[in-house]
Amino acid sequence: MTTEDSANTIKSIAILGGTGDLGGGLARQWSRAGYQILIGSRTEEKGKAAAGDLLAEFPDLNVTGHENLAAATAADLVVLTVPFAHQISTLESVKSGLTGKVLIDVTVPLMPPKVGTVQMPEAGCAAVMAQACVGDDVSVVSAFQNVGAMHLQEDHAIECDVLVTGNKKAARDTVISLIEALGLRGWHAGPLANAAAAEALTSVLISINRHHKINGAGLVITGESGS
């Protein structure tokens, strides 16, 4: 299946944690790219409020607000954008709505106050924790850890590539197609265990941002993909 074919199979995307900066940015960008967006939150009221904020800025978007499980159940693909402290509890609450779907996990194991220091969980990385939680009937793909949320909330070209890890190539292809819909480049970066590298790089980029006073440093892969 080509990435174009993968893109055509996804019509609706649930963003759990769509009330936050990264989730809201992805909702904005994908909705403008033509996808139906279901913003999920712990309460339906918060989900609807976030959707209302987007619609106030872009009235023609196809965005609705929901409670997390309702959003996950109704959508073709689900994106998890909650803080690390709420990752597993959120997944447990929506597990019944994820069966047979691709789950994009953007979680980074940041542990305040030392968010500029790499601190990986005992399981190896957050993405592996997500897969263990939801089971083999869900294809977890890790992506977007190294894209600054502020860029997704603005209207400019984003000079940042996206590392995509997952145990199934078809699932990675689907996610890369969605990344390309945002005008970004996605790269197959190996199995889900390799997400540890992308997650750890987030703390490295935070340190770079602080030291060099950069607003949202990102990652760019050099070289051109062969045919």
**What are the residue boundaries of the structural domains of the chain, listed by start?**
3-212
Position 83 scores a pLDDT of: 93
Contacts 24+ apart (CB under 8 A), 58-64: 58/28, 58/31, 58/32, 61/31, 61/32, 61/37, 62/31, 62/35, 62/36, 62/37, 63/27, 63/31, 63/36, 63/37, 63/38, 63/39, 64/36, 64/37, 64/38, 64/39
Position 2 scores a pLDDT of: 42
- pLDDT string in tens for the chain (227-residue length): 444 444 568 999 999 998 888 899 999 999 989 999 999 999 999 999 999 998 998 888 899 999 999 999 999 999 999 999 999 999 999 999 999 999 999 999 998 899 999 999 999 999 999 999 999 999 999 999 998 877 877 777 788 999 999 999 999 999 999 999 999 999 999 999 999 999 999 999 989 999 999 888 889 999 888 75
pTM: 0.93
For residue 216, give both structure tokens. 């949202």
Position 153 scores a pLDDT of: 76
Superfamily of domain 3-212: NAD(P)-binding Rossmann-like Domain (3.40.50.720)
C-alpha of 186 from chain center: 12
- Beta pairing, strands 77-80 & 63-67: unpaired
For residue 134, give both structure tokens. 């939801």
Phi, psi of 42 (to 5 degrees): -65, -25
Phi, psi of 40 (to 5 degrees): -105, 145
Sort 121 into a burial class: Cβ within 10 Å, 0-12 / 13-18 / 19+: middle
Position 213 scores a pLDDT of: 93
CA distance 182 to 33: 7
Helices (H), 58-163: 68-74, 87-94, 126-134, 149-152
Give residue for tokens 């069966």.
99
- Give CA torsion, residues 201, 38, 184, 162, to 10 deg: 20
Position 179 scores a pLDDT of: 95
